[in-house]
Amino acid sequence: MIRTPLRPLARILDARQKGENPDAIERENLRIRHEQMRDRSRVRAEGRLLVLGVAFFCAFAVTGARMATLAASEPAEPRAYTQGASIVSQRADIVDRKGRILATNMETHSLYAHPQQMIEPERAAEELARIFPELDRERLVKDFTGKRKFVWVRKKLSPEQKQAVHDIGEPGLLFGPREMRLYPNGTLAAHVLGGARFGQEGVHSAEVIGSAGIERYFDKELRDPARKGAPLELSIDVTVQSAMERVLAGGMMLMNAKGAAAVLMDVDTGEVVSIASLPTFDPNDRPAPPTEGTPADSPLFNRAVQGVYELGSTFKIFAAAQAMELNLVRPDTVIDTRPPMRIGGHGIGEFRNKNYGDLTVSEVIVKSSNRGTAKMALDIGIERQQQFLDTLGFFKPTPLEITEAEGGKPLLPSRWTDLSSVTISYGHGLSASPLHLASAYAAIANGGFAVKPTLLKQSGPRHGPRVMSDYAAEESRKMLRRVVTDGTASFGEVPGYHVGGKTGTADKPKERGGGYYEDKVIATFATMFPAHDPKYVLIVTLDEPVETMGEKPRRTAGWTAVPVTAEMIGRIAPLLGLRPDYAPRELLQLTAN
């Protein structure tokens, strides 16, 4: 660029000659130069503003356009970010303690009809009635030819049935996918599992909700997608459960009982390893609740948890344990059990009106003396007895994780008099479930700690608060062992397992009140094994058993529940991995030489 000098020499000289002020020329030139500079910078600033404006416009336009597309377009899941999203079934499996499946899901189909799309509705109805004998042909014809636009035909189809329906070739018959709950073991542990049914139903899917048992108790957890299909691990052992149910069913048949229940519980963890109630049902096809008769006669009724019975002499050990705990007696303290003994106007009798005379505390338990136990109960007093039974859990329903457990609320006397205190000490006047008895026996078995029965697999012992001293628990265990070796439960001996336990035979109260049946009993045998270091507690209860092999029918637990329990222990103890402990037999020559 050519710069114009501020004082061009020619013009200065010219001005000097004319006598003008040459500074004016300089000022003039300076002004012109400043004006030029100003114009240039304005143009530049305007240009910059324009660029900036365009940039802002573009930015806003892009943002606006993006917002518009987001608002107007269909939402879609970003394909790249869902890493490892596993496709899981809508309900988690239930497995036993060794991971064997107890409940799982299966893909199946439901069948529905659009009558308006049907070509030969009557033929379709006929064919359907042929494939599914339980469907009524007339009803189907009425549904298919009427005004209805949508008819559910069946909720579940097997693949064979589906093919058969396909083969009808009717375009108005349609299939919808269904996920159904399957219990592959059939009736095994039916009362624990309960069952499931369809909730909200649509054409493309249906909700599966638990209708009873653990399925209902853990319904939310099982359906929680956050589980990602992790199975629910139970404490049940399928093998033991199966053996228990088998022996119990056999025993129930032999003893002509109308029902039976058994509970096997780990004494330290409170895990219920197997629990059975007979008669049972198939959770795959859960029967409808009974509309008539007593609910207790329905196979749905869980005798082990819901059934509250007077458990008879099995309670005597609690009175003895508490009396020893309170230092009122020692195992060798002598108690006079001679008649008469009257409490509140009622005579306290013995089985078959026997008179045992003087008995030590240990013998009171071994011979199952009512009067001996009654005297200990009177020494203990009402308040302390109540408190003790409360800590053992006899005042509340058991906290087992099935919905039915809430229903097993023990029946307590409305007024707890001295007479109640005495009768309860030998198991009359207080009704509790076999599971209550199992957890109370577990407290004796584990050295005096309360345990909560649970159906979930535990990783270690879960001792609750101490309810009795180690001494009282140990002496009680010795007494229970003696009941089997020289007492009422002599059939209960299983070589190698040192069974300890107490029998209990209670007359059944009449349903409509007014006393007890003469010839209907609840026979219970509560055991723990091995008695010197108990690992498991087993309760077996038979409802109305009668053993008819002798001359007279025999109903006491010693003749009914005890042999069944002994057989059961012989079957399940090896399965539990308990090694029998007895003097070694002759040397076996197992190696070929």
Evaluate whether 539 touches 519 at the Cβ level (below 8 Å).
no
What string of DSSP letters covers 409-461? PPB--SS--HHHHHHHHTT-S-EE-HHHHHHHHHHHHTTSB----BSB--SS-
89 binds other proteins (CB under 8 A): yes
The interface with other proteins within residues 270-309 (CB under 8 A) comprises none
Amino acid identity for residue 409 in this structure: K
Closest separation between CB of residue 82 and other proteins, Å?
9
585 binds other proteins (CB under 8 A): yes
The tokens of 96 are what? Answer: 């036993």
79 binds other proteins (CB under 8 A): yes
What is each CA distance from 82 to 79, 86, 87, in whole angstroms?
6, 9, 12
Closest separation between CB of residue 250 and other proteins, Å?
12
80 binds other proteins (CB under 8 A): yes
85 binds other proteins (CB under 8 A): yes
Evaluate whether 502 touches 317 at the Cβ level (below 8 Å).
yes
In the list 169, 186, 349, 357, the residue contacting other proteins (rule: CB under 8 A) is: 186
CA distance 279 to 260: 7
CA distance 76 to 476: 69
CB of 18 or CB of 579, closer to other proteins: 579
Pick the piece of the chain touching other proteins (CB under 8 A) from 47-55, 87-95, 366-374, 553-561: 87-95
CA distance 210 to 229: 16
The tokens of 216 are what? Answer: 């209902």
Closest separation between CB of residue 570 and other proteins, Å?
6
230 binds other proteins (CB under 8 A): no
Closest separation between CB of residue 320 and other proteins, Å?
30
Compute the C-alpha angle 319/320/321, nearest 5°: 95
Q: What sign results for the dihedral spanned by CA atoms 222, 224, 225, 230? A: negative
99 binds other proteins (CB under 8 A): no
In the list 32, 55, 106, 411, the residue contacting other proteins (rule: CB under 8 A) is: 106
In the list 14, 20, 35, 107, the residue contacting other proteins (rule: CB under 8 A) is: 107
* Residue linked to tokens 């707890």: 416
CA distance 413 to 407: 18
Phi, then psi, of 383 in degrees rounded to 5: -65, -45
Closest separation between CB of residue 349 and other proteins, Å?
39
CA distance 291 to 496: 48
Cα diameter, the chain:
167
Neighbours of 420 (CB within 10 A): 22
571 binds other proteins (CB under 8 A): yes
CA distance 252 to 258: 7
Instruction: Count Cα atoms within 13 angstroms, Cβ side, for 215.
Output: 27
Pick the piece of the chain touching other proteins (CB under 8 A) from 9-17, 63-71, 475-483, 489-497: 489-497
Q: Is 13 buried (19+), middle (13-18) or exposed (0-12) by CB count in 10 A?
A: exposed
CA distance 375 to 355: 15
In the list 161, 205, 239, 298, the residue contacting other proteins (rule: CB under 8 A) is: 239
Closest separation between CB of residue 365 and other proteins, Å?
26
Binding letters toward other proteins, positions 187-216, x by CB under 8 A:
-x----------------------------
177 binds other proteins (CB under 8 A): no
In the list 182, 334, 378, 456, the residue contacting other proteins (rule: CB under 8 A) is: 182
Who's near 209: CB < 8 A, 6+ residues apart?
Answer: 196, 197, 198, 199, 216, 219, 223
90 binds other proteins (CB under 8 A): no
86 binds other proteins (CB under 8 A): yes
The interface with other proteins within residues 362-381 (CB under 8 A) comprises none
CB of 180 or CB of 542, closer to other proteins: 180
In the list 301, 315, 497, 525, the residue contacting other proteins (rule: CB under 8 A) is: 497
Closest separation between CB of residue 232 and other proteins, Å?
15
CA distance 349 to 408: 30
In the list 211, 242, 433, 439, the residue contacting other proteins (rule: CB under 8 A) is: 242
Closest separation between CB of residue 341 and other proteins, Å?
43
Strand pairing partners for 99? none
Closest separation between CB of residue 108 and other proteins, Å?
10
546 binds other proteins (CB under 8 A): no
Evaluate whether 173 touches 116 at the Cβ level (below 8 Å).
no
Evaluate whether 122 touches 168 at the Cβ level (below 8 Å).
no
CB of 186 or CB of 295, closer to other proteins: 186
Neighbours of 98 (CB within 10 A): 11
Binding letters toward other proteins, positions 245-264, x by CB under 8 A:
-x------------------
Pick the piece of the chain touching other proteins (CB under 8 A) from 167-175, 325-333, 547-555, 569-577: 569-577
Closest separation between CB of residue 579 and other proteins, Å?
5
Residue ranges binding other proteins (CB under 8 A): 79-80, 85-89, 100-101, 104-107, 182, 184-186, 188, 238-239, 242-243, 246, 494-497, 570-571, 573-575, 579-580, 584-585, 587-591, 593
